[in-house]
Amino acid sequence: EAGVTQFPSHSVIEKGQTVTLRCDPISGHDNLYWYRRVMGKEIKFLLHFVKESKQDESGMPNNRFLAERTGGTYSTLKVQPAELEDSGVYFCASSQVRGFSGNTIYFGEGSWLTVV
């Protein structure tokens, strides 16, 4: 069974440009999460989809970030325009069971974004 896959694995863009990160969750997983780790900081929650609906987007830093999950399958996270402080690793994760505390979340390998 394929795990959570993310694309691109690495991206270097200039300040002001746009980047779109893609995540394919484990097949059959309704829950999809985005997390991010900026340099030297802890990994922080960005948002949570249940199927195609945004369940919780309280962690999104500002309106330069837009996440979508059309059809409840893969998700994209767009940063437009990118700023220097957006550099970091963006992790996607998915899980199967909803509404259950202690449910295991499976992470992808991350998309490493560098804004120069």
Partner 1 sequence: AQSVTQLDSHVSVSEGTPVLLRCNYSSSYSPSLFWYVQHPNKGLQLLLKYTSAATLVKGINGFEAEFKKSETSFHLTKPSAHMSDAAEYFCVVSDRRNQFYFGTGTSLTVIP
- Give the span between the Cα atoms of 88 and 45, in whole angstroms: 13
Distance CA(108)–CA(81), nearest Å, equals 24
Among 7, 13, 44, 51, binds partner 1 (CB under 8 A): 44
Among 12, 16, 43, 73, contact with partner 1 (rule: CB under 8 A): 43
Contact with partner 1 (CB under 8 A): which of 79, 82, 91, 115? 91
The CA-based dihedral angle spanning residues 1, 101, 110, 39, taken in that order and rounded to the nearest 10 degrees: -160
Based on CB atoms, which residue is closest to partner 1, 31 or 75? 31
**Which amino acid belongs to residue 74?**
Y
Q: Which residues bind partner 1 (CB under 8 A)?
A: 3-4, 31, 33, 35, 41-45, 48, 56, 91, 93, 95, 98-110
